[in-house]
Amino acid sequence: MKLICTRDELLEGILIAQKAVPTRTTLPILQGILLDCRDESLNLRATDLEIGIECSVNAEIVDRGWLVLDSRLLGEIVRKLPPEDVEISVAEGNITEIKCANSFFRLQGQSGEEFPQLPQVDGERSLTMPQDLLKSVIRQVVFACAVEETRPILTGALVECRSEDMVMAALDGFRLAVRNVKLEGVREDICAVVPAKALNEIQRILKDTQEEVHIKLAGNHILFGMERTRVISRLLEGDFINYKQIIPEEYGTRIRLKNEELLESCERASLLAREGSNNLIKLNITKNQLEITSNAEIGDVREEILSETEGQDLEIAFNSKYLTDVLKVIEDEYLRIEFTTSISPCIIKPEGSEDYTYLLLPVRVIS
Amino acid sequence: MKLICTRDELLEGILIAQKAVPTRTTLPILQGILLDCRDESLNLRATDLEIGIECSVNAEIVDRGWLVLDSRLLGEIVRKLPPEDVEISVAEGNITEIKCANSFFRLQGQSGEEFPQLPQVDGERSLTMPQDLLKSVIRQVVFACAVEETRPILTGALVECRSEDMVMAALDGFRLAVRNVKLEGVREDICAVVPAKALNEIQRILKDTQEEVHIKLAGNHILFGMERTRVISRLLEGDFINYKQIIPEEYGTRIRLKNEELLESCERASLLAREGSNNLIKLNITKNQLEITSNAEIGDVREEILSETEGQDLEIAFNSKYLTDVLKVIEDEYLRIEFTTSISPCIIKPEGSEDYTYLLLPVRVIS
């Protein structure tokens, strides 16, 4: 095997593929990156057996072949090489020579045959959307996935498509995030639960462009295909929660306020909420004003925010993290929050659209 | 006590004073910052009893007084406040109110009387130099201080002044860094060993300007005074090593090469040196070329660098960290390295000046 490519393109490919390399594993080969040039191009591949990432790199293939190199060391070497052509050639026993300008590395590689194959994901069930849109959808939903594995299905987000409507939803028992998207040309109904870990990696790989990403489902796997990169993830098995029934349709109090003001006030109040127990902040809603308070042994805080209030006054308490999380991902300047009672969930929405809904359970406070 | 100041200036002062707050301490008051406005200005002060930092902040003092607030929490609060006026007022029992725009914090403070005083450093022994010069001197020397405390005096750097010559020197048993500076108007001879920790903090506070820093010695303390900030450190007790006698005056081999090329090659070679034992890289010096090699179980590396060589060919080995450390702080484009034998120290100097000398012991390699 022998190939020549530029250091910059090689590095870019390695950085993408590396996202699938597990930090800890009992299977040493998974700490490697497969360099596959059995065809007329160079494909980098890595996997932790849950997620697989494949990335093609422009290269001149002099001799075909394949090989596995240690991912961390290869990444560090290529990062430190000068921005010139890199020649990689493999000799007897998978000894690999990496040449660039006046640098000559030799690394012990492993045979490409030992590297796990990625599952084939071919099928009719597919959809296409702009990369920046999918990135924003994932960003607004995935943080609400459960971290604890007591109910494994909640560690993923539901991806559902019916005709032209796509929805992504996640919940963890304390909050629910739902994002709706209108798409063109959906072929078949899709319903899958994708692990949060895979969505987080895909979000990092997606670019802020309108270039398309192709999503395909087959068997127990989902594939996200971009120009040079393919990400394949296992799906979570089981039925997702029927989240629609827990979204209240009516409210007794509704406030309208600036997202940024609320976020900054919540972040300040969090400084004391964090010192106390439960990360608790209290909201006191009156005509034209929202007051946020929190207290701990070392002190207390009160924040006053102008708001437009409809309906009754209300006192309600939340875990401050669950409130700030959503304020960071809403892109609109103003938002609306709808409440019923101090012990029922509230609904947070951007003012300008019905595409995003965040439901948050309050914390009961004995006062 | 009551004062008004801008959030930005208060934050700047807190960030400077905080550098003296210990991360761990058995004396809880040291986790605080003293706000001292017993005079017509606000002075912030923090100390870990080894280093003390005092910083004055522009403020309107409405009522005089002093008070200690938790450093971490105060810093976080002020950082999150909007960029407007901040009013700090203290009521009964050191309860402190911090108001800014629509934010109202109350924190439990402690009496200023409980905070340790900083030693007075007044004396004749003083010198003055531009801040950017002192910053560069510290940067080129302090990394060579010993980290281990087996010989406490080596955990500091020597600061010595005789008439118009100032020198800073540090060594750790493997390498020695010496920087000479010509100064104007030195009054009395100075000789002190300043802890590396204090020098590192001062380096971070010093600005890249020609504004002056005043250095004073009295008793067992040294003071660095800048426009708004004063840093006071304890000195290390004992005699410093007579380092001059270990600097060889002759050489058998001398090379001249580009600093940046050598640094990049060393950093690449370090990637494998780190995998092996001892962090070892080997230099093979021949006419017109320096070859750097390193090897580990997983592979090896060879780097070729153009150099101008005078004298005999030589093979010599170093700990790669000790070599890269110095290459990062030499500001000249070219440098010279002088060798005698493969088991005697080498001398590294910037090409353009005699002001800086770095001595590095080789590692003996059984070949």
Q: How confident is the model at residue A367 (pLDDT cuts 50, 70, 90)?
A: low
CB B123 within 8 A of CB B216: yes
Residues in chain A closer than 8 A to B107 (CB atoms): 298-299
Q: Does B303 touch chain A (CB under 8 A)?
A: yes
Quote the pLDDT of residue A343: 95
The residue of B31, B78, B268 whose CB has the most chain A CBs within 10 angstroms, and thus the best one to mutate to test that interface, is B268
Torsion of CA A77, A78, A82, A88, to 10 degrees: 100
Let me know the angle formed at the C-alpha of B297 by B294 and B298, rounded to the nearest 5 degrees.
90
Q: Does A324 touch chain B (CB under 8 A)?
A: no
In sequence order, which residues have a C-beta less than 8 Å from that of residue B276 and are 6 or more positions away? Answer: B294, B295, B296, B297
Which candidate from B76, B106, B275 shows the least CB-CB separation from A299? Answer: B106
The residue of B76, B79, B97, B103 whose CB has the most chain A CBs within 10 angstroms, and thus the best one to mutate to test that interface, is B103
Question: With pLDDT > 90 as the criterion, what percentage of chain A qualifies?
Answer: 90
Q: Does A88 touch chain B (CB under 8 A)?
A: no
Quote the pLDDT of residue A304: 98
pLDDT in tens, A124-179: 788 899 999 999 999 999 999 999 888 999 999 999 998 889 999 999 999 999 99
Classify A42 as helix, strand or coil: strand
Same topology, domains A2-114 and A126-244? Answer is yes
Inter-chain CB proximity A301 and B106 less than 8 Å: yes
Inter-chain CB proximity B80 and A267 less than 8 Å: yes
Q: Does B300 touch chain A (CB under 8 A)?
A: yes
Answer yes or no: is pLDDT of B51 > 80.
Answer: yes
Inter-chain CB proximity B301 and A106 less than 8 Å: yes
Six token digits for residue B233? 């450190």
Q: How confident is the model at residue B276 (pLDDT cuts 50, 70, 90)?
A: confident
Inter-chain CB proximity B80 and A271 less than 8 Å: yes
Alpha helices in B218-350 (DSSP H): 259-273, 320-329
Distance between CA atoms of A150 and A156, rounded to whole angstroms? 13
Identify the CATH homologous superfamily for domain A248-360: DNA Polymerase III, subunit A, domain 2 (3.10.150.10)
- What are the extents of the domains in chain A? 2-114, 126-244, 248-360
pLDDT in tens, A246-289: 999 999 999 999 999 999 999 999 999 988 778 999 999 999 99
Q: Does B227 touch chain A (CB under 8 A)?
A: no
pLDDT in tens, A296-333: 999 999 999 999 999 999 999 999 999 999 999 999 99
Inter-chain CB proximity A80 and B271 less than 8 Å: yes
Q: Does A77 touch chain B (CB under 8 A)?
A: yes
Report, as an integer, the average pLDDT of B337-363. 96
Distances (CA, A) of B200 to B99, B196, B324: 34, 6, 19
Q: Does B38 touch chain A (CB under 8 A)?
A: no
Q: Does A82 touch chain B (CB under 8 A)?
A: yes
Q: Does A108 touch chain B (CB under 8 A)?
A: yes
Which candidate from B73, B96, B303 shows the least CB-CB separation from A103? Answer: B303
Quote the pLDDT of residue B186: 65
Quote the pLDDT of residue B367: 58
Quote the pLDDT of residue A186: 65
Answer yes or no: is pLDDT of B122 > 90.
Answer: no
Answer yes or no: is pLDDT of B40 > 90.
Answer: no
Distance between CA atoms of B282 and A294, rounded to whole angstroms? 61
CATH topology of domain A2-114: DNA Polymerase III; Chain A, domain 2 (3.10.150)
Quote the pLDDT of residue A124: 74
pLDDT in tens, B60-101: 999 999 999 999 999 999 999 999 999 999 999 999 999 999
Residues in chain A closer than 8 A to B105 (CB atoms): 268, 272, 299-301
Q: Does B49 touch chain A (CB under 8 A)?
A: no
Report, as an integer, the average pLDDT of A182-203. 90
Which of A233, A240, A220 has its CA nearest to residue A123? Answer: A220
ipTM of the complex: 0.91
Q: Does A81 touch chain B (CB under 8 A)?
A: yes
Distances (CA, A) of B277 to B273, B280, B294: 7, 7, 10
Q: Does B292 touch chain A (CB under 8 A)?
A: no
Inter-chain CB proximity B102 and A271 less than 8 Å: no
Distance between CA atoms of B157 and B215, rounded to whole angstroms? 15
Torsion of CA A311, A312, A316, A320, to 10 degrees: 30
Distances (CA, A) of A146 to A136, A152, A186, A239, B100: 19, 8, 29, 15, 37
Which candidate from A73, A107, A303 shows the least CB-CB separation from B103? Answer: A303
Residue of A nearest to B270 (CA): A77
CA B104 to chain CA mean position, Å: 38
Matching residue, tokens 């406040």 = B81
In sequence order, which residues have a C-beta less than 8 Å from that of residue A57 and are 6 or more positions away? Answer: A5, A9, A10, A12, A13, A41, A42, A43, A44, A228
CATH code at A126-244: 3.10.150.10
Distance between CA atoms of B67 and B112, rounded to whole angstroms? 4
Quote the pLDDT of residue B189: 87
Classify B198 as helix, strand or coil: helix
CB A24 within 8 A of CB A201: no
Nearest-Cα distance to chain B for A275, in Å, is 9
Q: Does A122 touch chain B (CB under 8 A)?
A: no
Instruction: List phi, psi (to 5°) of A124.
Output: -80, -30
CB B198 within 8 A of CB B220: no
Residue of A nearest to B76 (CA): A271
Distances (CA, A) of A6 to A57, A87, A90, A361, B43: 9, 9, 18, 52, 56
Q: B97 pairs with which residues across the strands?
A: B89, B106
pLDDT in tens, B211-263: 999 999 988 999 999 999 999 999 999 999 999 999 999 999 999 999 999 99
Mean pLDDT, chain B, as a whole number? 95
Instruction: List phi, psi (to 5°) of A250.
Output: -120, 165
Distance between CA atoms of B243 and A182, rounded to whole angstroms? 75
Answer yes or no: is pLDDT of A234 > 90.
Answer: yes
Report, as an integer, the average pLDDT of A50-64. 97
